[in-house]
Amino acid sequence: MAKRRMVPYKRMVLEYAELIGKDVKSYREFGISKSTFYEWRKAFRENGAAGLIPIHWHVEDKGIRHIYIKPRTPELNGKVERSHRSDQEEFYQLLAYKDDVDLNKKLEVWERFYNYDRPHGAFKGKTPYEVLRSLLH
């Protein structure tokens, strides 16, 4: 499987960095970006080898075709951009920040409302949950 092939490679890069004690030299020699290298290291430290499985290979192994799109191209990613706009207009702007505010709890309530109770124009007045249920039946 593709995801399993990547794990030994990533471990090799990380082990090489530990061996020589120079992160910059390691990721440059292997042609890996700085951010990718540190992402791998963090994932490995937090979850071991399981943390080194990239999302792309994981979904491909599940039989789902995964395609990357260019960053900062809202014309290719309109649904996400629209979701972000709704979050900004209907959630973040309405928060009254206080020292004791629990943003995670408020976000959880918002997400539940957004997905289960809020009608969406894109779904002809249905909620995302209603549309998902209709697709699964």
pLDDT in tens, the chain (137 residues): 455 567 888 889 999 999 998 888 888 888 888 888 898 898 888 888 878 877 666 677 778 777 767 766 777 777 777 887 888 888 878 777 666 567 778 888 889 999 999 999 888 999 999 999 998 87
Structural domain range at position 32: 2-61
- Quote the CA–CA distance of 96 and 81 in Å, as a whole number: 24
Q: Are residues 82 and 126 in the same domain?
A: yes
Q: Provide the residue type at 101 as one letter.
A: V
Domain boundary among 31, 61, 91: 61
Distance (Å, rounded) from C-alpha 69 to C-alpha 87? Answer: 22
Quick one: 111 and 78 in the same domain? Answer: yes
The domain total for the chain is 2
